[in-house]
Amino acid sequence: MITKSMIPPALPRAVCFPDERSQALTPGRLLTGAGLLTIAADVLLWNSAPGAGLAVFSLLVWCGLLWNRQSAWEMLATPKGAIAVSLMLATAAQTAIEPGFANGCLLIALTVYASGHFLHDHFHPYWRRFLEGISGLLWFPVALLSGRFWLRQWIPFGGISPKPEAGRTVLRFVWAALPAALICVPFALLLLGGNAVMFSVFGDLIESLETFFNTLEAPDIVRVLFWGFVSAAMLALLGKGEPSRVLRWIGQRVPTSLPVPADLDMGIWRTRLLLIAVNVLFFFANTTDVLYLWADAALPAGVTASAFVHHGVYSLIASVLLAALVLSLLWVQAPAVCRARGQRWLAHLWIVQNLVLVGSVVLRLKLYVEFYQMSLLRVYVVCFLVLVSVGFVLLAIRVHQERTMSWLLGANVLGVFGLFFVMQCWDEHRFVANWNIDAARSDAKSGKTLDTAYLGSLGPAAWPGLYEVASQPEVFGRWATADAKTILTNEAEQYENRMATGGWRAWQWRQHVAAQHFAINRKLAQ
Give pLDDT, residue 309: 58
State mean pLDDT over 498-506.
73
Distance of CA 74 to the CA centre of its chain: 26
Q: Which stretch of 87-101, 378-392, 488-502 has the lowest confidence by average pLDDT?
A: 488-502
Phi, psi (rounded to 5 degrees) for 69:
-125, 135
At CB < 8 A and 24+ separation, what contacts does 54-60 make? 54/95, 54/99, 54/107, 54/505, 55/92, 55/93, 55/95, 55/96, 58/88, 58/91, 58/92, 58/95, 58/107, 58/111, 59/88, 59/89, 59/92
Give pLDDT, residue 349: 92
Highest mean pLDDT among 44-48, 53-57, 113-117, 370-374: 53-57
Q: How many CB atoms lie within 10 A of CB 267?
A: 19
State mean pLDDT over 220-243.
80
Q: Identify the band that residue 9 occupies on the pLDDT scale cut at 50, 70 and 90.
A: very low
**CA contacts within 13 A on the Cβ side of 324:** 24
| CA distance linking residue 187 with residue 351, whole number of Å | 85
Give pLDDT, residue 160: 39
Is there a contact between 8 and 105 (Cβ–Cβ < 8 Å)? Answer: no
Q: Is the pLDDT of residue 56 over 60?
A: yes
| CA distance linking residue 219 with residue 351, whole number of Å | 58
Q: Is the pLDDT of residue 442 over 70?
A: yes
Q: Is the pLDDT of residue 17 over 70?
A: no
Give pLDDT, residue 39: 92
State mean pLDDT over 330-334.
84
Distance of CA 339 to the CA centre of its chain: 38
Q: Percent of the chain beyond pLDDT 90?
A: 11
Give pLDDT, residue 37: 92
Angle at 495 between CA 491 and CA 501, to 5 degrees: 145
Give pLDDT, residue 245: 57
Residue 375, H or E segment: none
Q: How many CB atoms lie within 10 A of CB 6?
A: 7
Average pLDDT, the chain: 76
Q: Which stretch of 114-128, 382-396, 405-419 has the lowest confidence by average pLDDT?
A: 114-128
State mean pLDDT over 93-110.
89
| Domain extents in the chain | 13-168+232-250, 264-403, 428-525
One DSSP character per residue, 477-521 reads -HHHHHHHHHHHHHHHHHHHHHHHHHGGGG--HHHHHHHHHH-HH
Q: Identify the band that residue 431 occupies on the pLDDT scale cut at 50, 70 and 90.
A: very high
Distance of CA 22 to the CA centre of its chain: 26
pTM for the full model?
0.74
Phi, psi (rounded to 5 degrees) for 119:
-95, -25
Give pLDDT, residue 40: 92
Is there a contact between 339 and 356 (Cβ–Cβ < 8 Å)? Answer: no
Q: Identify the band that residue 205 occupies on the pLDDT scale cut at 50, 70 and 90.
A: confident
Q: 31 - beta bridge partners?
A: none
State mean pLDDT over 497-507.
74
Reported as a single tens digit per residue, the pLDDT across 278-323 is 989 888 888 888 887 777 666 666 665 556 555 667 788 888 888 8
Q: Is the pLDDT of residue 414 over 70?
A: yes
State mean pLDDT over 54-65.
90
Non-local CB neighbours of 431 within 8 Å, separated by 6+ positions = 374, 379
State mean pLDDT over 426-439.
89
Q: Identify the band that residue 127 occupies on the pLDDT scale cut at 50, 70 and 90.
A: low
Helices 52-67 & 221-238 angle (0-180, nearest 10): 40
Closest CA to 60 of 114, 3, 121: 114
Higher pLDDT, 230 or 207: 230
Secondary structure letter of residue 69 according to DSSP: B
**CA contacts within 13 A on the Cβ side of 389:** 15
Q: Identify the band that residue 473 occupies on the pLDDT scale cut at 50, 70 and 90.
A: confident
State mean pLDDT over 103-108.
90
Q: Is the pLDDT of residue 182 over 90?
A: no
Non-local CB neighbours of 297 within 8 Å, separated by 6+ positions = 291
Q: Which stretch of 37-41, 253-257, 336-340 has the lowest confidence by average pLDDT?
A: 253-257
Is there a contact between 395 and 327 (Cβ–Cβ < 8 Å)? Answer: yes
Q: Identify the band that residue 151 occupies on the pLDDT scale cut at 50, 70 and 90.
A: low
Is there a contact between 66 and 73 (Cβ–Cβ < 8 Å)? Answer: yes
Non-local CB neighbours of 166 within 8 Å, separated by 6+ positions = 26, 27, 153, 154
Give pLDDT, residue 167: 45
Give pLDDT, residue 457: 85
Q: Identify the band that residue 91 occupies on the pLDDT scale cut at 50, 70 and 90.
A: very high
| CA distance linking residue 359 with residue 46, whole number of Å | 45
Q: Is 296 left (phi over 0), alpha (psi -120 to 50) or beta?
A: left
Q: Identify the band that residue 453 occupies on the pLDDT scale cut at 50, 70 and 90.
A: confident
Q: Is the pLDDT of residue 432 over 70?
A: yes
Q: Is the pLDDT of residue 70 over 90?
A: no
Burial (CB count within 10 angstroms: exposed 0-12, middle 13-18, buried 19+), residue 87: middle
Give pLDDT, residue 157: 37
Q: Identify the band that residue 516 occupies on the pLDDT scale cut at 50, 70 and 90.
A: confident
Cis status of the peptide bond prior to 125, with omega within 30 of 0: yes
Q: Percent of the chain beyond pLDDT 70?
A: 71
Is there a contact between 520 and 491 (Cβ–Cβ < 8 Å)? Answer: yes
Higher pLDDT, 221 or 21: 221
